[in-house]
Amino acid sequence: MSFQIPCPAEPGIPLSEVDTPALLLDLDAFESNLRRMDESLAGRNLRVRPHAKSHKCPEIALRQMAHGAIGVCCQKVTEAEAMVAGGIPDVMVSNQVVGARKIERLVTLAQRARVSVLADDRNNVAELDAAAARKGIKLNVLIEVDVGANRCGVSPGEPARALAAAIATSPHLHFRGIHAYQGAAQHVRSADERRALIGRAIQMVRETVALLGESGIECEIITGAGTGTYPLEAGSGVYNEIQPGSYIFMDADYAKNVDEDGKPVHTFSHSLFIWASVMSHVKPGRAIVDAGLKALSVDSGMPLVAESGAEYLGASDEHGVLRVADALQFPPGRKLRLIPGHCDPTVNLYDWIVGYRNDTVEAVWPISARGALY
Amino acid sequence: MSFQIPCPAEPGIPLSEVDTPALLLDLDAFESNLRRMDESLAGRNLRVRPHAKSHKCPEIALRQMAHGAIGVCCQKVTEAEAMVAGGIPDVMVSNQVVGARKIERLVTLAQRARVSVLADDRNNVAELDAAAARKGIKLNVLIEVDVGANRCGVSPGEPARALAAAIATSPHLHFRGIHAYQGAAQHVRSADERRALIGRAIQMVRETVALLGESGIECEIITGAGTGTYPLEAGSGVYNEIQPGSYIFMDADYAKNVDEDGKPVHTFSHSLFIWASVMSHVKPGRAIVDAGLKALSVDSGMPLVAESGAEYLGASDEHGVLRVADALQFPPGRKLRLIPGHCDPTVNLYDWIVGYRNDTVEAVWPISARGALY
C-alpha cells in the first residue's frame, strides 16, 4: 500500500521527454516575474509577504524570500506546516482557524516558527487564547475586517474595535493588526472599478485604524492586496504589508484585467503551463489531450492553448477536447502547453512542478502543501 | 522537505471530531450500493469490472471484488500501478497509453499483474508491440470503438476491423476484444434519450463484432457502460463486461437522471460526502464553510448540502458560501455534510477517505491513486 506517485521528469532531460500531464514552470518567465514585482514596488516602504496558497511549494517560497519577502501567507495550518518544514521561518495563516484539531496544530507550529493567524469571532479568540496558554506561548493574531468582499471578517468600525480589544486583552494572544483583503476586486476587469472598490476598502481601513488608536490599540501590521490590485494598496499610505500570490504564475483569468486605456494591466508573464499530450487517433478538426478535470481546474473557464492552431473546448475527467485547424499537426504523442484558467486549484492537483529553461528540465520541485486541506 | 499530509481522523473517534474538509464514506450506504449492483444484475451472465477512476482506493476495489468483480478499470498507468500495489490482480487501462515513459511503465506492470489496454491508432499499436517485445511478454489489447461519444476510438466497421487485425497480427500483442463506452449518454436525463443512444451504440458494436468474425478475429471481451446506462448494455446480449464506477458513491449530477415515469432512475444512495466546518462569524442569511475549489470540484455544479436549512451558493479557492435560513444555527465550528456535484474529480483532491457508521469512524483508507496522472 506504500504506492508513491512517480515524478514526471528528472533534471537534465529535454522537455519533450517530460511525462504528461505535468505542471511546467518556465524559469525565465518566473524569475522575470519576481524581478517585475521588485521593480513595481521600488521606493515604497512596504513589506511583501507573498501568498503561498498559489504555489504550495517551499522552493518557490525560498526564491521569493531571496527577493526580499519577509515570509509567506498560507490559508491552512497544514500548508503553513509544509512551508515551515521547507525552511520558511515566518508564516501568516491569513484565514480563520476553527476546530480543536486545527488549533492544536497551529499552536504547536507556533512553538517552532513565527506564526500569526486571523480571527473574526469572539469565541474563536477565546479558543486560540486557551490553546496558546496550554503551550505557554503568546500567539500573534490579527483581526480580519470585511472591506467589501462580503465573505469572512468583522465589519469595520466598532465591531472591529471590539474584537481587537478582546484579542489585546487576552493574556496569551498578541494583537498584531488588521487583515483587509478585498478579494472581490481582484478579478474586476475595469481599472476604474478596481480603483473605486479598493478606494473604499482603504477608507474603511483608515477609519478603523483611527478608531482602534483612540482605544489605545496599535496596528503594527496592516495587510491585504492580491495580484489584481496590489499597486493601489501599496500606494495607499495605509497598508504596510501586501500579499500577492498569482504574480509569479499569471493565469488566463488574471490576464484579462485591463488598465485605464483598456490595455492588459499586467507586465507579468505566463510562467505556469500544463504539459499535455495528444492521445488519440487523428480526426478532422479535433484532437484529444490527456489533461482533463483531474489535471486542471475549469472553474474560471477553459485553459488557453499556448501553441497556435488549437483551442481547448471542453474537459471530462481525464480528457480534453481541442478544436484544431489541421488535425495532422496534432498526431498522437504531440505534446503542447496549456495555460490554466485558474492557477491555484490547478497547482493543487500536482505533486511536482517541473522547472525548465531553453527546453531543458532544470529542476523538479515537490509541491509539498498539495492537498494540505486542514 | 519530507512533509506528509496528516490524516483527518482515526478509527473509533466520533464523526464530530473528524477534521475538515474531509472526504466521508457512509459505510452503510456504500455497502447497500454494492448489494444493489449485485441485485440489479442477478441472473445475467456478465462480468463486472468496476471503474476505479471514481474511488482510486484499493480498499474499495477489494470490497468490489468481494462482491464478484473480476478486477478494475483504470484510466492511467499509475492508477493501475496503485491498484496492483494494493492487491488487485487484474486491471484494464480503459484508455490509450501514449508516450515512451507511460508505455514502459505499462509493460513493466504487465510483468507482474494481468493488464490490458486500449488502442485506437496504428502507430500506437506498433509502439505497444515493440515495448512488449522488449519485456518478452504478450500484452492484452482491446480496440476502442467510438460508438457516439465522439472522443477517442476508431469508427465502427472497417476502421475497427483494420485496427483489430493489426493487433491480432502483432507478435507481442494479444487481441482481446472491443471497448465501446458511450460516455456522452451517461448523464442524459431522459430515459428515452439514453435508451436511443445506447441502442445505437449496441447496434454499432454488434455489426463490428460480426465484421471482425468474418475476418476470423474473435472478440473475447466486449466491454463498456457506466452507472448512467449499464442496465441497457447488460441486457443487450452483446456486451459481456460492464464497468460502472459512480454507483458506489452517487453524485448530485447522476441523481438527476430520471426513468420513463420521470422518477429518479437510481436506487443507489449518496454515500460520499465532504465534511465541512463553518469557519467565520455569524452573518444574517449566510455562513462560510472551509470547503472551496480545493476541496470539491464544481464542474458539474455546486454541491448540495445534506443537512436542511442551507444552500451552497458559490466556491472560491478555500471558502464556500452558504445561504442559510437561520445563521444562528450555523455558528463557527458547526460541521455539515456536502454532496459533491461530481464525485470523481472531487475524490482526486483527497489523500484519505474516512469510512463511518452510526456517527463513529470505522476506517480511514488511503486514496492511493490520488494524483495518479501519468
Q: What is the DSSP string of B121-138?
A: -HHHHHHHHHHHHHHT--
Considering CB atoms only, which of A100, A318, A332 is closest to B76? A318
Q: What residues in B contact A183, CB-CB < 8 Å?
A: 316
Listed in sequence order, the residues at least 6 apart from A327 whose beta carbon sits closer than 8 Å to its beta carbon are: A282, A283, A284, A285, A286, A287
Reduced to 3 states (helix: H, G, I; strand: E, B; else coil), residue A356 is strand
Looking at residue B175, its pLDDT comes to: 98
Q: What residues in A contact B370, CB-CB < 8 Å?
A: 5, 371
Quick one: which of A351, A350, A275 has its CA closest to A320?
A275
Looking at residue B257, its pLDDT comes to: 80
Q: Does B251 contact A at CB distance below 8 Å?
A: no
Give the closest-approach CA distance of B227 to chain A in angstroms.
Answer: 15
**Mean pLDDT estimate for chain B:** 95
pLDDT digits (tens, 9 = 90+) for A297-315: 999 999 999 999 999 999 9
Mean pLDDT of A111-128: 98
CB neighbourhood size of B122 (10 A): 15
Distance CA(A319)–CA(B183), nearest Å, equals: 12
- Asked whether the predicted pLDDT for residue A345 surpasses 60, the reply is yes
pLDDT digits (tens, 9 = 90+) for B158-187: 999 999 999 999 999 999 999 999 999 988
ipTM reported for the complex, 2 dp: 0.95
Looking at residue A1, its pLDDT comes to: 45
Looking at residue A262, its pLDDT comes to: 80
Looking at residue A2, its pLDDT comes to: 67
pLDDT digits (tens, 9 = 90+) for B82-116: 999 999 999 999 999 999 999 999 999 999 999 99
C-alpha cell at B349: 483532491
Largest separation between any pair of C-alpha atoms in chain A: 72
Distance CA(B293)–CA(A214), nearest Å, equals: 40
Ranges of beta strands (E only) in A172-309 are 173-179, 221-224, 241-242, 272-277, 286-289, 304-305
Spatial contact of B54 and B76, defined as CB atoms under 8 Å apart: no
Backbone angles phi, psi at B90, to 5 degrees: -140, 115
User: Counting one residue from A and one from B, how many pairs have CB atoms under 8 Å apart?
Assistant: 196
pLDDT digits (tens, 9 = 90+) for B176-225: 999 999 999 988 989 999 999 999 999 999 999 999 999 999 999 999 99
Mean pLDDT of B252-257: 77
Q: Does A172 contact B at CB distance below 8 Å?
A: no
* Banded model confidence at residue B1, pLDDT cuts 50, 70, 90: very low
Question: Residues for chain A: how many in total?
Answer: 374
* Banded model confidence at residue B136, pLDDT cuts 50, 70, 90: very high
Q: Does A42 contact B at CB distance below 8 Å?
A: no
- Asked whether the predicted pLDDT for residue B253 surpasses 50, the reply is yes
Looking at residue B128, its pLDDT comes to: 98
Q: CA nearest A296 in B: which residue?
A: B345
User: Order of strands, edge to edge, in the sheet holding A286-289?
Assistant: A286-289, A320-324, A310-315
Backbone angles phi, psi at B263, to 5 degrees: -95, 155
Q: Is the Cβ pair A19, B99 closer than 8 Å?
A: yes
Give the closest-approach CA distance of A248 to chain B in angstroms.
Answer: 17
- Asked whether the predicted pLDDT for residue A218 surpasses 90, the reply is yes
C-alpha cell at B33: 450500493
* Banded model confidence at residue B278, pLDDT cuts 50, 70, 90: very high
pLDDT digits (tens, 9 = 90+) for A151-189: 999 999 999 999 999 999 999 999 999 999 999 998 898
Q: What residues in B contact A298, CB-CB < 8 Å?
A: 299
Distance CA(A373)–CA(A362), nearest Å, equals: 29
* Banded model confidence at residue A259, pLDDT cuts 50, 70, 90: confident
C-alpha cell at B112: 507482474
Reduced to 3 states (helix: H, G, I; strand: E, B; else coil), residue B55 is coil
Looking at residue A256, its pLDDT comes to: 80
Quick one: which of B174, B319, B153, B227 has its CA closest to A279?
B153
Distance CA(A321)–CA(A344), nearest Å, equals: 22
Asked, as a colleague might, if the bond just before B21 is cis with ω within 30 of 0, I would say: yes
pLDDT digits (tens, 9 = 90+) for B282-334: 889 999 999 999 999 999 999 999 999 999 999 999 999 999 999 999 999 99
Q: CA nearest A350 in B: which residue?
A: B371
Spatial contact of A333 and A289, defined as CB atoms under 8 Å apart: no
Mean pLDDT of B20-48: 96
* Banded model confidence at residue B2, pLDDT cuts 50, 70, 90: low
Query: Which A-chain residues 79-138 have CB contacts (< 8 A) with chain B?
Result: 81-82, 85-86, 95-96, 98-102, 105, 120-121, 123-124
The H or E element that residue A128 is part of is helix A122-135
Q: What residues in B contact A367, CB-CB < 8 Å?
A: none
* Banded model confidence at residue A317, pLDDT cuts 50, 70, 90: very high
Looking at residue A106, its pLDDT comes to: 98
pLDDT digits (tens, 9 = 90+) for A61-115: 999 999 999 999 999 999 999 999 999 999 999 999 999 999 999 999 999 999 9
**Mean pLDDT estimate for chain A:** 95
Q: Is the Cβ pair A99, B277 closer than 8 Å?
A: yes
Looking at residue B3, its pLDDT comes to: 86
Q: Is the Cβ pair B342, A81 closer than 8 Å?
A: no
C-alpha cell at A25: 514552470
Looking at residue A187, its pLDDT comes to: 86
User: Order of strands, edge to edge, in the sheet holding B352-357?
Assistant: B304-305, B335-339, B272-277, B22-26, B352-357, B360-366
